[in-house]
Amino acid sequence: MAQLILNHLTKDFGGGRPAVADVSLTLRRQAFLALLGPSGCGKTTVLRMIAGFEQPSDGSISYGERRLSDAERALPPEKRNMAMVFQSYALWPHMTVAENVGYPLKVRGVSGAAWRRLVGEALSLVKLTEYAERRPAELSGGQRQRVALARCLVTQPDVVLLDEPLANLDQHLRKAMEETFRTFHERSGATMVYVTHDQAEAMALATDVAVMSEGRLLQVAAPADIYARPEGRVVGGLIGRGSILRLNLPVNGERRLDWPLLRSALGVVSGKRGLDDKGPVADVLVRPEQVHRGTDGIPMRVVSSVFEGERFALDLTLPDGQRLKAYSSAPMSEGALAPFVVGGGWRL
């Protein structure tokens, strides 16, 4: 099976730091990769280079044995057998839904019964068969996005590229569209690369998540792995709602930390912070779900208690002044002092 391969990919527009710096990534066929990171991190530039809209300054992009682009030459977008879904949908307002979906087929010379069959199959997949003769202006945002997806499907692309496709939708429509994307991925068999700054979207949709910051690729892993075992402070801060504590810890030890070690590192037993203040300072990620009330816990003061529907989100202060997020099934008074157990942590 052909793989999409980014090999030391770099894009420098000039004027300082490269937009993308030395990104290497091998994406297996039929994978669903989310490129995740804050605005300006280079994720959209990577997507545009894969699509053929930008040429690398260095490095290369290949699909299987076929070289798509490098610093010397680039295959044009129309010869890459890829499809792209934009944030703005990019639909022709004067065309019907069917005409929009079938436009790529028209460009390739497909017409007649074959054109109608392929368009009908694509519209059926995204549940828009009855909207075939409508114009884009008559559709909701979610329906327009499904038209854009159907337009991708008709050409049977090897790779589908999605540039923040849910950014213009409200929360309710986003959830509905997430299910549409999952179905589309399963039935199309295409490799998908999805750019987003929303980590909840990335975790819900992707088989693999690639975290970028300042043009560099920091970590690639399955959603569950990147949530449980982030590499470094930046990834730990981007994924989930965890707190990053600065603690003294032994030099040699597991990255996964248990409560006895954390309790000692927080200095509750000795009355001092750290393991007799001899260990090096390390960043430790603690998720809110790992913090709970317990009689043998550390006294922490409640800074705030915010109702989130099914639970309360707590902001706590540790004895040394550091802040910690936690969840609670019941509200707590601001300023209250109560013992909390930190059930586990991850050394970054």
- Domain end point (choices 202, 230, 258): 230
Same domain, 62 and 199: yes
- Domain end point (choices 201, 230, 259): 230
Which stretches of 232-330 are DSSP H helices? 233-238, 259-265
Per-residue model confidence (pLDDT) at position 271: 44
Same domain, 191 and 291: no
Per-residue model confidence (pLDDT) at position 346: 92
- Domain end point (choices 230, 257, 290): 230
Same domain, 280 and 323: yes
**CATH number reported for the structural domain that contains residue 312 in this entry:** 2.40.50.140
For residue 47, CA distances in Å to 147, 160, 215, 246, 323 come to 21, 10, 12, 36, 37
Question: 279 pLDDT band (50/70/90 cuts)?
Answer: low
**CATH number reported for the structural domain that contains residue 39 in this entry:** 3.40.50.300
| Number of residues written out for the chain | 348
- Any domain includes 235: no
Total domain count for the chain?
A: 2
Which stretches of the chain are DSSP H helices? 43-51, 97-107, 112-125, 141-153, 171-188, 199-205, 223-228, 233-238, 259-265
Same domain, 57 and 193: yes
Sheet with 216-221: list strands edge to edge. Answer: 82-85, 159-163, 191-196, 32-36, 208-213, 216-221
pLDDT tens per residue, range 180-196? 888 878 877 889 999 99
Same domain, 308 and 205: no
Same domain, 196 and 164: yes
Position 332, amino acid:
M
Question: 95 pLDDT band (50/70/90 cuts)?
Answer: very high
Query: What average pLDDT does the chain have?
Result: 89
- Any domain includes 296: yes
Same domain, 53 and 33: yes
Once rounded to an integer, what is the mean pLDDT over residues 258-268? 81
Same domain, 50 and 199: yes
- Any domain includes 236: no
Per-residue model confidence (pLDDT) at position 301: 95
Closest CA to 157 of 97, 78, 58: 78
Cβ count near 60 (within 10 Å): 18
Position 100, amino acid:
N
- Any domain includes 194: yes
Task: Assign 87 to helix, strand or coil.
Answer: coil
Give the lowest-confidence range in 7-21, 204-218, 236-250: 236-250
Per-residue model confidence (pLDDT) at position 18: 94
Is 114 buried (19+), middle (13-18) or exposed (0-12) by CB count in 10 A?
A: exposed
Cα–Cα distance measured from residue 251 to residue 108, given in angstroms and rounded to the nearest whole number:
62
Once rounded to an integer, what is the mean pLDDT over residues 216-222? 95
Across the strands, what pairs with 161?
84, 193
- Any domain includes 23: yes
3-state class percentages of the chain: helix first, strand second, coil last, to nearest 5: 30, 35, 40
Same domain, 63 and 107: yes
- Any domain includes 279: yes
Residues 6+ apart with CB under 8 A from 79: none
- Any domain includes 290: yes
Per-residue model confidence (pLDDT) at position 200: 87
- Tell how far CA 332 is from the center of its chain: 33
Cα–Cα distance measured from residue 73 to residue 263, given in angstroms and rounded to the nearest whole number:
58
- Any domain includes 107: yes
| Residue 278: pLDDT over 70 | no
Per-residue model confidence (pLDDT) at position 13: 92
Same domain, 178 and 288: no
Same domain, 280 and 326: yes
pLDDT tens per residue, range 150-173? 898 888 888 999 998 877 777 777
Question: 86 pLDDT band (50/70/90 cuts)?
Answer: confident
Determine contact, residues 84/163, Cβ cutoff 8 Å.
Answer: yes
Tracing tokens 């586990």 back to the chain, one arrives at 344
Could you tell me the residue range of the domain that residue 258 belongs to? 241-347
Cβ count near 87 (within 10 Å): 17
Same domain, 226 and 245: no
